[in-house]
């Protein structure tokens, strides 16, 4: 099977993110591969182990290739980075358009993505790539079985109060949800191998795309303003000893916080 997994490098949940100005975030330089994308890589690797073939990890990113190296260290065979200065300012559709321009001539059976990137959280890129390529897609799968002979896949989704079982022909795109699998931890040897792996770099011109197709010129959805979360009220310390501190706490909860 020819499997492509779309991966994105996102800020580590422990990274400090500050709103610098209305349109600018200051993000501490701590990144990791989006959790749902690792689930997608694991799903691809499991299918490769069963049916043979190849798993390629693919990203659009002008700077970071760590998500690709992570994919390789987990067991992916190939890594491709699409990078071009014209991509700066891109929205989700421009990213999907770029990814699908690369994928359209490839002989793939399956494309796997995360259900959402853990930073921008739009959940758009996967379905938009499928729509650009004109292939079926199912969002947020927690089960996946492929029948290679019949060229079809059975997938499971969680719905309110139950599960939904679906079948669709291949090639298809599935976005992967927590519960589908537990991503493997790469062996140290594979991490070292991944550091040395040659990453293929592709620019927009070789995809037949121009500056007008991506970046700020092609933006359909524009960020208007970033706002920090409201400041938490200051903490009040009760310095008395027991049992006076309990009496004071109850009084404060009743008279100040008005929650009891
Ligand atoms: C070069 C570049 C410049 C950008 N400039 C701006 C900017 O100026 N302003 C701004 O607001 N945003 C900018 N972005 C962010 C960009 O709009 C979003 O990160 C992107 O559209 C994905 O949206 P999302 O993170 O919500 O992904 P979702 O739609 O939530 O992602 C779902 C899944 O799609 C796949 N996926 C998502 N993004 C990528 C990717 N880049 N490569 C491969 N697979 C992917 C992953 O599998 C992911 O789990 C830029 C991004 C890039 C790469």
CATH of the domain at 185: 3.40.50.620
Does the CB atom of residue 66 touch ligand 1 within 6 A? no
Total of domains in the chain: 2
Does the CB atom of residue 114 touch ligand 1 within 6 A? yes
Residue 229: the pLDDT is 86
Kindly state whether residue 237 falls inside one of the protein's structural domains: yes
Does the CB atom of residue 91 touch ligand 1 within 6 A? yes
Residue nearest to atom 5 of ligand 1 (CA): 89
Does the CB atom of residue 24 touch ligand 1 within 6 A? no
> Do 88 and 26 share a structural domain?
yes
Kindly state whether residue 225 falls inside one of the protein's structural domains: no
> Do 132 and 36 share a structural domain?
yes
> Do 234 and 124 share a structural domain?
no
Residue 65: the pLDDT is 92
- The DSSP code sequence of the chain is -EEEEE--EEE-TTS-EEEEETTEEEE-S-EEE-HHHHHHHHHHHHHHHHH--EEEEEEE-SS--HHHHHHHHHT-SEEEEE--GGGTT--HHHHHHHHHHHHTTS--SEEEEESS-TTT----HHHHHHHHHT--EEEEEEEEEEETTTTEEEEEEEETTEEEEEEEESSEEEEE-TTS--PPPPPHHHHHHHHHPPPEEE-SGGGT--GGGSGGGG-SS------PPPPPPPPPPP-PPTTHHHHHHHHHHHHTS---
> Do 194 and 251 share a structural domain?
no
> Do 240 and 118 share a structural domain?
no
pLDDT (tens digit per residue) in 89-134: 999 999 999 999 999 999 999 999 999 999 888 999 999 999 999 9
Pocket test for ligand 1, best of 8, 67, 68, 99 (most atoms within 8 A of CB): 8
> Do 182 and 103 share a structural domain?
yes
> Do 248 and 200 share a structural domain?
no
> Do 132 and 52 share a structural domain?
yes
- Segments in the chain below pLDDT 50: none
Kindly state whether residue 162 falls inside one of the protein's structural domains: yes
Kindly state whether residue 140 falls inside one of the protein's structural domains: yes
Closest ligand 1 atom to Cα of 125 = 29
> Do 254 and 177 share a structural domain?
no
Residue nearest to atom 50 of ligand 1 (CA): 90
Does the CB atom of residue 84 touch ligand 1 within 6 A? no
Kindly state whether residue 171 falls inside one of the protein's structural domains: yes
> Do 97 and 162 share a structural domain?
yes
Kindly state whether residue 12 falls inside one of the protein's structural domains: yes
Residue 230: the pLDDT is 87
Kindly state whether residue 224 falls inside one of the protein's structural domains: no
> Do 92 and 164 share a structural domain?
yes
Tell how far the Cα of 194 is from the centroid of ligand 1, in angstroms: 23
> Do 54 and 132 share a structural domain?
yes
CA angle 181, 120, 19 (to 5 degrees): 135
Domain carrying residue 247: 230-260
Tell how far the Cα of 244 is from the centroid of ligand 1, in angstroms: 54
Tell how far the Cα of 215 is from the centroid of ligand 1, in angstroms: 12
């Amino acid at each position: 099977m020819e499997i492509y997994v779309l991966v994105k490098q996102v800020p580590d949940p422990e990274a400090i993110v500050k709103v610098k100005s209305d349109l600018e975030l200051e993000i501490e330089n701590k990144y990791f591969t989006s959790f749902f994308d690792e689930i997608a890589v694991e799903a691809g690797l499991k299918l490769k182990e069963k049916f043979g073939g190849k798993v390629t990890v693919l990203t659009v990113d002008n700077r970071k290739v760590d998500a690709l190296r992570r994919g390789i260290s987990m067991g992916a065979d190939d890594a491709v980075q699409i990078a071009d200065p014209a991509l700066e300012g891109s929205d989700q559709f421009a990213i999907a358009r770029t990814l699908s321009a690369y994928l359209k001539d490839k002989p793939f059976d399956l494309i796997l993505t995360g259900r959402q990137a853990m930073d921008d959280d739009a959940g758009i890129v996967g379905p938009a790539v499928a729509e650009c390529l004109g292939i079926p897609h199912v969002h947020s799968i927690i089960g996946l079985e492929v029948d290679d002979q019949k060229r079809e896949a059975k997938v499971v989704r969680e719905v309110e109060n139950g599960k939904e079982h679906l079948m669709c022909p291949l090639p298809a795109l599935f976005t992967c949800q927590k519960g589908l699998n537990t991503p493997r931890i790469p062996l140290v040897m594979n991490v070292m191998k991944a550091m040395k792996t040659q990453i293929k770099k592709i620019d927009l011109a070789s995809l037949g795309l121009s500056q007008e197709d991506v970046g700020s010129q092609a933006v359909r959805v524009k960020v208007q303003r970033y706002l920090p979360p409201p400041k938490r009220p200051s903490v009040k310390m009760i310095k008395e000893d027991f049992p006076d501190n309990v009496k004071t706490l109850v009084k404060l909860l009743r008279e100040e916080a008005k929650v009891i």
